[in-house]
Amino acid sequence: MYKLYFSPGACSLAVQVVLRELGQPFELVHKASVADYQQINAVGAVPALEVDGTVLTEGAAIMLYLLDKHANDLLPAEASARQQAIQQLMFANATVHPAYSKLFFLNNQLADGAVKQQLLQVAAAQVSKLWQLVETRLQSQPYLGGQHYSVADILLAVYAGWGRFFAVAIEIGPRGQAMIDKVRALPAYQAAVAAEQQAA
């Protein structure tokens, strides 16, 4: 059985959703409940997934591991479709996630005031530009992955919730919001959120 280390609302939520989509049993462990979490993951980040005594880190790598190991509809088998799905996953993980991370850094490191607010607005504008790319991608399909949701859609649904932490506007278009709403309505997503609340 897998052991997933998480923090509420973090990108570990997406890994939990994937585990549930795959029908895999797992134990959910709050990062804060571990005396020295850096012994689990030296950089202190979540998610971390323990598999038969080995700890896997980095959310995208963990999800690719799980999708390669278990039968699923989240990652196509055909080469070109698989490459496109991985590209969308990396867009979410390596482009959108760091853009939100800038907001967290500014919010946590700078004293409140006009300069902080101005920098937050600039960072939020960059995030909004990325959501516009998502909006364009969704012109002819309901999900980044096409007609079926993918791990990239799941990640973006998690990231979209982070906007509530900042006193600046992040613009998500109607197609992007519709995709987010559909992903969040999935039984696996709702069960994952409820499990985090119970374990917190």
> Each residue of 110-168: pLDDT tens digit?
999 999 999 999 999 999 999 999 999 999 999 998 889 999 999 999 999 999 999 89
What six digits make up the tokens of 1?
Answer: 């059985």
User: Please, what sign has the CA dihedral across residues 164, 196, 93, 182?
Assistant: negative
Domain 2-73+187-199: state its class: alpha beta
Rounded to two decimals, the pTM is: 0.95
pLDDT for residue 58 is more than 90: yes
β-strand 2-6 against 48-51: which pairing, if any?
antiparallel
What six digits make up the tokens of 5?
Answer: 């280390």
Round to whole Å and give the CA distance between 150 and 154: 7
> Each residue of 25-52: pLDDT tens digit?
999 999 999 999 999 999 999 999 999 9
- Please say whether the beta carbons of 49 and 4 come within 8 A: yes
Domain 79-184: state its class: mainly alpha
Domain borders along the chain are: 2-73+187-199, 79-184
How confident is the model at residue 200, as a pLDDT?
A: 66
pLDDT for residue 6 is more than 80: yes
DSSP 111: P
